[in-house]
Structure 1
Amino acid sequence: MSTLQVPKLTRRGFCMCCVGIASAGVAGGWLSPREAYAEAHQLVGMIRGAAAKADITTYKLRGNVAVLEGSGGNIAVFAGKHGKVMIDAGITATQPKIEQALADLGRQPVTHLVNTHWHFDHADGNEWIHAAGAKIIAHENTKKRLMQTQRVEDWDYSFPPSPAGAIPSETFATDQHVDFEGCKLHLICYEPAHTDSDIGVHFVEQNILHTGDTYWNGIYPFIDYSTGGSIDGKIAACAKSLSMVDDKTIVIPGHGAPVSNKAELKAFHDMMVSVRDNVAALKAKGMSVGEVVAAGPTAAFDKFWGKFVITPGLFTELVYEGV
């Protein structure tokens, strides 16, 4: 157990980096960064396999809130007197290790699960957590996406409809203020950003904000255009989050080092604005996506942000699609 540690990119993270290696520098090669990303690595299967081997690391924050790292997206947990509230469910392959991490936080059952969006690395565990007694709460578009086949082109993968037990039973489309197990939560609806189903979760009394995948800490983010995402939406979501935090807020990103803050969130926002503007200027000159990738519009940021799954070339392509 750790308390308010600032984790570095872990060995688990470095293993995930190999997803991006083949696509680095392919602008003049046989595959685009996007094609290499999907084709060379069978991404979804690889992530499930990595999750099965991953350890779960728990960081205790404050006010009975902790964050679990290692099962897909970062998972937040509030341990109340009679029950626990989870923010995101992770990947099913890590169920035994998540169960142990939850038990280490107390004997209370999980009574509520909030999904930050529909993606499998955040909602794959819905079914087993619901079977254990939790009510699932999410944006209405998360329910819609989970009930239907979803094609994510950039992953070259079609997700089948989720089983009945994984479907949220309570949904919303505007900001909500709720009290689960004595924990006051502000459920924040973002406009379409990473997907069209994104929410943030503010633990009001603890001053902790879980941003879901609208924020990736220290790494270039994925944008799922197949299910409503956009670069402008990502930027707007970060701006909305920034308007809600202060210098004492603990920020939990969807991916990357799980304990973050306002300054790091702002750096992520500013990076996306700069890259968007760089790519838009090149596209306005009539340059093709390959030419823009070759021009290196992310170069000033690559050393810091380009060390994980989403390579500079792929991120450039994602931005290009939205400007």
Structure 2
Amino acid sequence: MKQIAGIATLVASLLTTPVLAEDRFSKVEIISEPVAGNVYMLKGAGGNIAVLVGEDGTFMVDDQYAPLTAKIQKAVTGLTDKPLRFVINTHWHGDHTGGNENLGKSGVLIVAHENVRERVSTEQFIEAFKRKVEPSPPEALPVITFSDATTFHWNGDKVRVQHVGSAHTDGDAIVHFAKADVIHMGDIYFNGTYPFIDLSSGGSVDGMIEAMDTALALSGKETKIIPGHGPLSTPAEMKVQRDMLATLRDRILKLINTGKNREQVIATKPTKDFDDKYGQGFMTPDIWTGIVYDSLAAKANNS
């Protein structure tokens, strides 16, 4: 239930006023969890954060919301006395990039795929929430971008940040800490719920499955998986969700191919045997089925 509440917080944050958000974030606690080696996961509100500590300085993946920056910094100082040097954005959504401006002003170098910089620097519209997102200020923009992948040799680890194509959005990156044997998935993986696929930001259900396959190919049995939302995970757990996505994608595609329209596909309840496990989050079964329908219909129209 804590996981579901946390994801509900994500949606609420997209829709509430700044004053209400400030009040709500005042109650959020940042919790640090050891993952492997010198990698930790920070949980608060919004996307899970990865922190790599060591003598070179601190390396962080995602930064949640602006009102939480001070709490996140305090949590990091509880792990190391070395300064924060780099922040990776796994994609552009505010629950993963909201702290960019605060950290950018403090001299932290922000790194992301080039599509992330393009989206945070221009007005966006998230169709699923009917919400316009204003451009971020210059201090919040990634100052280092890449088109395919980039690698950091940092704190004794080899950290590869790899773009995975159009999955949750068109700017998604997975972050692989090779020595620690940890992968941060960003919002390609919502552990325990149907994942949000932001079609208006270039996402696709096929891309979600392919991105999971990419991460699984990098994984061994002992690899730790940090999901964008939900508890720390394993490759085996992520494989279960990957297979669920593929099964439901195929079911919905079959219904489309029989001539059913969007409302008719939703009415068949194609997800019903998975809903007890995955359908309790903000992506309700009907909403999620509609998003997958739209993703597959758009692909068919473009082929």
Greater mean deviation of Cα atoms: 237-246 or 92-101: 92-101
Shift of 1:42: 8.0
Q: Does 1:185 align with 2:159?
A: yes
Judged with a 3 Å threshold, the aligned counterparts in structure 2 of structure 1 residues 100 and 13 are, in CA distance, closer, same or farther, namely: farther
Structure 1: unaligned runs, 5 residues or longer: 1-8, 20-37
**Structure 1 moving runs of 4+ over 6 Å:** none
3-state SS of paired residue (1:187): strand
Output one character per residue of 1:26-71: Cα deviation in whole Å (capped at 9) or x when no partner. Answer: xxxxxxxxxxxx9xx6843289464443221110122211000113
Equivalent in 100, 103, 109 of residue 77 of structure 2: 103
Shift of 1:85: 0.5
Structure 2: unaligned runs, 5 residues or longer: 297-303
Residue in structure 2 matched with residue 163 of structure 1 by the alignment: 137
Q: How does the TM-score come out when normalised to structure 1? A: 0.86
Residue in structure 2 matched with residue 205 of structure 1 by the alignment: 179
Give the number of the structure with larger relative contact order, counting CA–CA contacts within 8 Å between residues 6 or more apart. Answer: 1
Shift of 1:278: 1.1
Q: Does 1:44 align with 2:44?
A: no
Q: Is the CA contact (8 Å cut-off) linking 1:200 and 1:212 kept in structure 2?
A: yes
1:203 is matched by which residue type in structure 2?
F
Q: How does the TM-score come out when normalised to structure 2? A: 0.91
Output one character per residue of 1:194-239: Cα deviation in whole Å (capped at 9) or x when no partner. Answer: 0000000000100000011111111101111111001111111111
Query: Within 5 Å, which residues of 2 pair with 1:104-253?
Result: 104-253=78-227
Q: Is the CA contact (8 Å cut-off) linking 1:18 and 1:309 kept in structure 2?
A: no
Query: d(CA) in 1 for partners of 2:179 and 2:115?
Result: 28
Query: d(CA) in 1 for partners of 2:283 and 2:21?
Result: 17
Residue in structure 1 matched with residue 44 of structure 2 by the alignment: 70
Shift of 1:13: 3.3
Query: d(CA) in 1 for partners of 2:72 and 2:230?
Result: 18
1:44 is matched by which residue type in structure 2?
L
Q: Does 1:254 align with 2:228?
A: yes
Query: d(CA) in 2 for partners of 1:88 and 1:15?
Result: 16
3-state SS of paired residue (2:195): coil
- Cα RMSD of the aligned pairs, angstroms, is 1.9
Query: d(CA) in 2 for partners of 1:266 and 1:58?
Result: 25
Query: d(CA) in 2 for partners of 1:138 and 1:179?
Result: 17
Query: d(CA) in 2 for partners of 1:115 and 1:105?
Result: 21
Instruction: Determine what percentage of the aligned residue pairs are the same residue.
Output: 37
Q: Does 1:13 align with 2:1?
A: no
Judged with a 3 Å threshold, the aligned counterparts in structure 2 of structure 1 residues 16 and 217 are, in CA distance, closer, same or farther, namely: closer
Query: d(CA) in 2 for partners of 1:73 and 1:42?
Result: 12
Query: d(CA) in 1 for partners of 2:30 and 2:46?
Result: 10
Query: d(CA) in 2 for partners of 1:53 and 1:94?
Result: 10
Q: Is the CA contact (8 Å cut-off) linking 2:9 and 2:45 kept in structure 1?
A: no
3-state SS of paired residue (1:68): strand
3-state SS of paired residue (1:256): coil
